[in-house]
Amino acid sequence: QLQLQESGPGLVKPSETLSLSCAVSGGSISSGTHYWGWIRQPPGKGLEWIGSMYYSGRTYYNSSLKSRVTISVDTSKNQFSLKLSSVTAADTAVYYCARHDLTMIRGVVKDNWFDTWGQGTLVTVSS
């Protein structure tokens, strides 16, 4: 049974870099069958897709966050990571990692859903 678990600091200072990891168990990131993504949810608000990555390194980012986001993968540890730079209070949210079923046919997105989610971790941006 596939499981994802987020980890990282719960408190980050403004202007610093938020760093989170997602450990995958019950499946292999390098199997090449899925992308792996990050989604966040500010307290009391809706969901926002941050970005997704394939094990080979191909990434897709939310255009509104692209200048500050880096998603990377460590296949040896079977985990992937999120870095969000220059954070402000607006980045305070529960951050979820998820398996992203993303397939394209001739460059056109066909399948696009998040089928397994981690439990989420709250990151607060405050001095």
Partner 1 sequence: QSVLTQPPSVSGAPGQRVTISCTGSSSNIGAGYDVQWYQQLPGTAPKLLIYGSINRPSGVPDRFSGSKSGTSASLAITGLQAEDEADYYCQSYDSSLSGSLFGGGTKLTVL
Alpha helices in the chain (DSSP H): none
Query: Distance between CA 71 and CA 98 in Å, rounded?
Result: 13
Q: Find the binder of partner 1 among 36, 38, 61, 80 (CB under 8 A).
A: 61
* CB of 64 or CB of 124, closer to partner 1: 64
Toward partner 1, which CB reaches closer, 4 or 87?
4
Which amino acid, 60? Y
- The answer to whether 60 contacts partner 1 (rule: CB under 8 A) is yes
Q: Closer CB to partner 1, residue 36 or residue 61?
A: 61
The site map against partner 1 for 105-124 (x = CB under 8 A) is: ----xxxxxxx-xxxx----
Label residues 45-78 b or e (16+ Cβ within 10 Å = b): eeeebbbbbbbeeebbbeeebeebbbbebeeeeb
- Cβ count within 10 A of residue 114: 20
**Nearer of residues 49 and 54 to partner 1, judged by Cβ:** 49
Footprint of partner 1 (CB under 8 A): 39, 46-49, 52, 60-63, 96, 101, 109-115, 117-120
